[in-house]
Amino acid sequence: MILIGRYLSPYTRRVAVSMNVLGMPFERRPLNAWQNLDDVRQVNPVGRIPALILDDGEVLFESSAILDHLDQVVGPERALLPPHEPDRRADLRILAVGLGVMDKAAAARYEMVMRPEDKIHQPWVDHNLGQVRSGLDWLEANFSRLPASDGLPQTVITTVVMYDFLKIALGDHLEMDHYEALGVLSRKWHAADIFRETHPDIDTK
C-alpha cells in the first residue's frame, strides 16, 4: 500500500501510526497539496491528503474513511475502534472533538501564515483558537477520567498526534502546559517507535 501525504499533516500521521500499530507495511510519498497539487490530484480529485492506494490500485480518501477500512481488514478483535456500542459511540465522540480541534487549529494557522500580515483577520484567528481551547478543555477532562491502559486505541493515537500538531503549529498561541492529562498522554507515547518513526521532522530531512 502507498500512503500519500506529509507527516506534518496530523491526518496523514494518524493513518501512518495506525498502520504501524496494526503491522501493515506501506510505502509513503510525502506530497502536500500546496507544493504538489497536481500530483495529489492524480490520486484525490479534491487535491487533499491523506490518500491510501491499496494493493489492487483502489484509492481511499480522508483519514477516517481510510482508518475504517483498515479496521475492517483486521477484524473486530484487532480494530482500533470498538466494534460495539456504547464503547464505539464513546470513542467516536472523542475522535470528533479531536478532529475538530485539528480542523480549527489548521484554520487559525492558515490565516496567520497564508495571508500577508496586513490582511490577517485577527477576529477569525481568535475565533478558531477559542474553539481549539474549548475542545482541548473537553478532551483534558475526558482523558483524565479514562483508566490507564497500555493499549493504543484510535482515541489515543489521534489525540497524541493532535497534541504534537498543536505544539508545532500553534505552540506560541496556546497554553499547552495547561492540559496536564493530555501532556502526560503525549509524553508516554511520543518517543515510542511507532510515533517517532512518523515525527513531522522526518519530512524536512
Instruction: Write the pLDDT tens digit of every residue in 93-127.
Output: 999 999 999 999 999 999 999 999 999 999 999 99
Task: Enumerate the domain spans of the chain.
Answer: 2-80, 87-193
CA distance 138 to 133: 9
pTM above 0.75, yes or no: yes
Give the angle 41-121-125 at the CA atoms, nearest 5°.
75
The tens digit of pLDDT for each residue in 34-85 reads 889 998 999 999 999 999 999 999 999 999 999 999 999 999 999 999 999 9
Assigned CATH class of 2-80? alpha beta
Pairing of strands 51-53, 59-61: antiparallel
Adjacency order of strands within the sheet including 27-29:
27-29, 2-4, 51-53, 59-61
CATH match for 87-193 among 3.40.1130.10, 3.40.50.150, 1.20.1050.10, 3.40.50.720: 1.20.1050.10
Check residue 33 and give its pLDDT: 86
Residue 200 confidence (pLDDT) above 70: yes
Query: What amino acid occupies position 110?
Result: Y
C-alpha 170: how far from chain center:
15
Check residue 205 and give its pLDDT: 43
